Structure 1
Amino acid sequence: MHLAKFVAVAALGLSVAACNGDRGGETLGTVVGATAGGIIGNQFGSGGGRALATVAGVAVGGLIGNRIGASVDEDARRRAMEAEYQALQYGPPNTPVVWREPDQDVYGEVVPGAPFQRGGQDCRDYTHTIYINGQPEVGRGTACRMPDGTWQTVS
């Protein structure tokens, strides 16, 4: 059962990556990030919400994986995704949630915007800046809270 879930998450991650084209390590980073995000999201969900948590994890992980690329390890991607969740779920507007991978020169911050409603869902814009060897990569998006409490990037 776990293998089937992993294969499904990996396949979804590959399909997300295929849409991006190959730009150096970005495709691999997207696949790895989407897969890791799906696995982490799967751990947060329960019952019928587990599938939604997995899909949300794939979406967020793909964004983060694409930004970080293949140049950093899974711990850095995990820290980045955890900071993104903390910022979206609990962060006051315009207040950064910072993260750092102590074994590498990789760190970042997630700055959530003010909460708003879209189609009956709680949503937030956010900016995630990731520094690799001192060079910033900035990603912006909008995430909405799903009925099971997870956040899914919608744009």
Structure 2
Amino acid sequence: MFRQVRRFSLVAGVALAAMLTVQVAQATPPAHAPAHGWRAKHDPNYHGYKGYTGREWERDYGISGGRCNRDEVGTVVGAVIGGAIGSTVAKGDSRIIAILAGATIGAIVGREIGRDMNDSDRACMGHALEIGTSGQRIAWNGANPGLEYSMTLGDGFERDGQSCRRFTIERELDGRNARERAAACRTGEGQWRLVSS
């Protein structure tokens, strides 16, 4: 009997030692629940979205496909304004979305176009300026039913050492169209300001 207990103890000890030396396997997150930053660290083919000035962006919010996802943009902008990710944005190099700065958009692109724009619309414009390509058209729905904006990116230029871009912005509501040409310059990390062209 004593021999059986000793043999059992020996087997149990060896099994326990083997379990303690086994390395924990790192699991890849499933596609439906990706880990934040996992793709950039582990996918050799992932390079983010290269911006107009060379900066890489983690998300494009639909800009590459020609349609800004205003709902996603609104969630991010709301979190920034609400302070949920303000500390990340304050660092500058970690900005997660580009935005067209300033509330005076109507003064430059025309009152008809700018009067119904809010922070989400300015973020769609800013991110389009940041990662869209020349000649590309980006569209999105405005806050009001039937309101649609579209922006066609033009050529780039420099002004006072800042990278700038020309663009055409259109607004359609209830069959009425308004169209303006404008320009914006990149004033900071992910911030664009309208300028007279």
TM-score, normalised to structure 2, is: 0.44
Q: Does 1:109 align with 2:150?
A: yes
Preserved contact between residue 130 and residue 136 of structure 1 (Cα < 8 Å): yes
Structure 1 partner of 2:186? 145
Residue correspondence of structure 1 range 3-152 to structure 2 within 5 A: 43=81, 46=90, 56-60=101-105, 63=108, 66-68=111-113, 77-101=118-142, 104-152=145-193
Preserved contact between residue 61 and residue 81 of structure 1 (Cα < 8 Å): no
Residue by residue over 1:47-71, the C-alpha shift from the partner in whole angstroms, topping out at 9 and shown as x without a partner, is 79xxxx999322336656833466x
Matched AA of 2:166: D
Distance 1:102 1:54 in 2: 17
Preserved contact between residue 127 and residue 138 of structure 1 (Cα < 8 Å): yes
Residue by residue over 1:45-101, the C-alpha shift from the partner in whole angstroms, topping out at 9 and shown as x without a partner, is 6279xxxx999322336656833466x5xxx63443222112211110011110013
Distance 2:114 2:131 in 1: 27
Distance 1:142 1:63 in 2: 9
TM-score, normalised to structure 1, is: 0.55
Aligned residue pairs total 108
Query: Quick check: which one's helix share is greater?
Result: 1
Preserved contact between residue 164 and residue 185 of structure 2 (Cα < 8 Å): yes
Distance 1:80 1:55 in 2: 9
Give 1:139 deviation, angstroms.
2.0
Structure 1 gaps, min length 5: 1-38
Determine what percentage of the aligned residue pairs are the same residue: 27
- Root mean square deviation, CA, Å: 3.5
Preserved contact between residue 101 and residue 107 of structure 1 (Cα < 8 Å): yes
CA distance 1:149–1:97, change in 2 (3 Å): same
Distance 2:132 2:100 in 1: 23
Distance 2:167 2:114 in 1: 20
CA distance 1:54–1:127, change in 2 (3 Å): closer
Distance 1:115 1:147 in 2: 17
Distance 1:123 1:89 in 2: 10
Moved over 6 A (4+): none
Structure 2 gaps, min length 5: 1-76, 93-97
Structure 1 partner of 2:61? none
- Between stretches 94-103 and 57-66, larger displacement belongs to 57-66
CA distance 1:69–1:140, change in 2 (3 Å): closer
SS in 2 for 1:115: strand
CA distance 1:129–1:147, change in 2 (3 Å): same
